[in-house]
Amino acid sequence: MPRTELARFLRDRRAGCSPRRYGLPEDTSRRTPGLRREELAELAHLSVDYYTRLEQARGPRPSPRVLDGLAHALRLSPAERSHLFRLAGAGEPPAGGAVRPIRPQVAAMLDRLPGTAAIVTDAAYGVVAWNPLARALLGDEAGVTNLARRRFLGAGRRYGSSSAEEFGHTVVARLRRAADRYPHDPALAALLAELRDGSEEFRRIWESRPVHAPGHRTKTVEHPTAGRLRLNCDVLLVPEDDQEVVLITADPGSRSAHALRDLASHLA
């Protein structure tokens, strides 16, 4: 454990904590900005002596429970929380549940891509946002916007795809990661139970423990009105929220690109 780096990180973050945010008076007797050590120790449910030793790089390796208390007391962002656990050489405990709200700036980005079908999925493969072209391309019959349900339960599916088998392994790999990261998420647990009960294929792939890394994929789909389309799928990550932005395009000048433009023109 790099004690000096951990100590520096704690001191810096404590100095950046405005007493006013915690309902504390910002009196002139404070010698340094931010919270006092005893104030932060109380918020983190630690003894002042123990916390002082951490800041002085003299303390023992803090447990995940202690680190979690410090993260809450310092009001760290998800990225800062992960960094705190790494500095302490501890495995980060799972978060409470998958993040389903979408950041406004990410949602706004989708509307700036008129020639691209773009969707955002959460860790459980629920579609949390999509632009009009993506809705026209993928469809939303019966209101089914979870891609895992579509893939394994046939709910709301509109067309065949050359990547159906590969996508099945991709879905299971991501759901396995989500199950490890969010073991107490009731919505995720219910989805997994539904997929296990409804799909022998899902159960088989789950037992194979697939591994998948997001990246570039090319697939051919049979769209009910646009016909056969050869599409490129590229994935961008929103790591703090464990979400993925999927950008669906066609090669410039191709018949598929013209078909996408026609679909978009009907939405104008």
Describe the strand order of the beta sheet including 227-238 as a list of residue ranges.
127-130, 117-121, 243-249, 227-238, 217-223
Q: What is the dihedral of CA 55, 60, 66, 71, to 10 degrees?
A: 40
Find the distance separating the first CA and the last CA of the chain, reported in whole Å.
Answer: 57
Structure-token match 């945010």, residue found: 21
Among candidate residues 238, 239, 235, 243, the one with its CA nearest the CA of residue 116: 235
Q: What is the pLDDT of residue 241?
A: 82
Q: What is the pLDDT of residue 268?
A: 61
| Mean pLDDT along residues 154-161 | 65
Q: What is the pLDDT of residue 142?
A: 45
Going by pLDDT thresholds of 50, 70 and 90, the confidence category of residue 7 is: very high
Task: Compare 195 and 101 and report the one with higher pLDDT.
Answer: 195
Per mean pLDDT, which range of 68-72, 125-129, 161-165, 215-219 is the poorest?
161-165
| Mean pLDDT along residues 72-81 | 82
Q: What is the pLDDT of residue 124?
A: 92
C-alpha to C-alpha distance for 195 and 218, rounded to whole angstroms: 26
Domain with residues 3-87, CATH architecture: Orthogonal Bundle (1.10)
**Tens of pLDDT, residues 37-51:** 999 999 999 999 999
Positive or negative, the CA dihedral 222, 225, 230, 233 is negative
**Which residues are registered as beta bridge partners of 237?**
244
C-alpha to C-alpha distance for 114 and 132, rounded to whole angstroms: 9
Task: Compare 10 and 21 and report the one with higher pLDDT.
Answer: 10
Give 117: exposed, middle or buried? Use CB within 10 Å, 0-12, 13-18, 19+.
buried
Question: Has residue 77 got a pLDDT over 90?
Answer: no
pTM for the predicted model, two decimal places:
0.67
Q: What is the pLDDT of residue 26?
A: 67
Task: Compare 254 and 113 and report the one with higher pLDDT.
Answer: 254
| Mean pLDDT along residues 183-199 | 92
How many Cβ atoms are within 10 Å of 207's Cβ, its own excluded? 9
C-alpha to C-alpha distance for 49 and 52, rounded to whole angstroms: 5
Q: What is the pLDDT of residue 138?
A: 82
C-alpha to C-alpha distance for 84 and 64, rounded to whole angstroms: 10
Question: Has residue 201 got a pLDDT over 90?
Answer: yes
The domain spans of the chain are 3-87, 104-267
Question: Has residue 234 got a pLDDT over 60?
Answer: yes
Looking at the domain covering 104-267, what would its CATH class be? alpha beta
Q: What is the pLDDT of residue 156?
A: 57
Question: Has residue 256 got a pLDDT over 80?
Answer: yes
